[in-house]
Amino acid sequence: MMNREGGVEDWSKTHSSPLEYSKLTLINFAHRCKKEASPTLYLLQRTIQPVESTKYLGVIFDRNLNWKVHQAYMVKKGAKWAVQIRRLTQPTWGITPKFAKRLFTSVVLPRVLYAVDLWYTPVNNKHDGPKTVSSARAIKQFASIQRAGALAIMGGLRTSPTDALNTNAFLLPTSLMIKKWCFRAMVRMAMLPRDHPLHKPVNWKITHLTKRHHGPLQILVNTLSTDAKKMEKIPLTGWNPSKTGELPFCIRIPVDKEALARDAENASKEIQVFTDGSAQGGKVGASAILIRKDRPDKILLFHLGPEAEHTVHEVELVGLLLALHLIGTERRGATSCSIAVDNQAVLKASDLELRKPSHHLACKIL
């Protein structure tokens, strides 16, 4: 594969990307029960000896993929940073608890919990026998790191209870802290748009269940019970910057209600559509009515769901979509139309980058 015609060597020469053989590492992945010796890789340039673990993109991969080497590296690095924060928070001098906590949450936690969604395996409480297939040991070691950080933040005694330290330092318990970071990683992967290269493999892993040999992503799905189909997708590029301000319609915001009423009465447009969205009785819905001279009015209603899952801004955008749908049902021709919306944030959304919650509806409108 390396030296054959059209192999890696030829590819590196044609793409002006010479290979650095000093960084080449050989690791043979195998089941933890197999103790077979790893073969050696012989190349024309050098001989590559197999290793038990190697570091790639900040994560240490071991031969059995049990992540014990990376967890040990994580504990060592976290203990080092906790000691450094402890040195900065002396009783007579140093930083205040406010900045100590900010340093712990912004420096220590990202370095210790880096790629936690990859190497973390939750404890299976449903298992009747010994819970060996889990990261219970790593959780206990991380608890000691968080306790050292909480002691540095609060300046407490060594015999202070861990729960009291976490409560006063406004830190989550160890298990909840790790689940929070795993949930954050899961949400980021579930929110990838369709044009993202990782959307297809992530969506396949989430929707297809495997009976045996679950991967890290499937373990996250089973643990967090997250439905990726209900996650809002944020596009990579919501709007072309070169077309900012170039809209196929005109926006006009009246000064007051009287001016709005006069505009509605004196409107010269053949089709007028009025939209509205509101929350009532714990439910959220949108409506639109199309008015055309000498023709019956058309009304369209849409119920989004409970108020706890939707916002008023989202409902107003849905009202605009209903208005466009009603206009699309009319006969085609040189027909002018106007849409009235009672929300300025919806009208001004066309000038934004459209990469925030509910902006995927604005992208559909444009």
* pLDDT tens per residue across all 366 residues of the chain: 666 777 777 788 888 887 777 788 888 887 777 777 778 878 777 787 888 888 888 888 888 888 888 888 888 888 888 888 888 887 778 888 888 889 888 988 888 889 888 888 776 555 555 444 567 788 888 888 889 888 888 888 888 888 888 888 888 888 888 888 888 888 888 777 777 888 888 878 777 777 777 777 777 777 777 776 777 766 666 556 666 556 666 777 776 777 767 777 777 777 888 888 888 888 888 888 888 877 888 888 888 888 888 877 788 888 888 888 888 887 766 577 878 777 776 766 666 556 666 666 766 666
Per-residue pLDDT at 56: 86
Domain locations in the chain?
66-230, 241-365
- DSSP H helices, the chain, are 8-14, 68-88, 97-103, 109-112, 116-119, 136-154, 162-168, 174-190, 199-207, 216-224, 257-265, 312-328, 344-348, 359-365
For residue 28, give the nearest of 4, 52, 58, 55 by alpha carbon. Answer: 52
pTM of the entire predicted model: 0.65
All residues at 6 or more sequence positions from 226 whose CB lies less than 8 Å from its CB, including other chains: 183, 186, 187, 190, 206, 220
- Cβ atoms of 67 and 100 closer than 8 Å: no
User: Which residues share a beta bridge with 272?
Assistant: 291, 338
In the CATH scheme, what is the homologous superfamily, with its name and number, of domain 241-365? Ribonuclease H-like superfamily/Ribonuclease H (3.30.420.10)
- Name, in order, each residue with C-beta under 8 angstroms of 306's C-beta and a sequence gap of 6 or more: 282, 283, 284
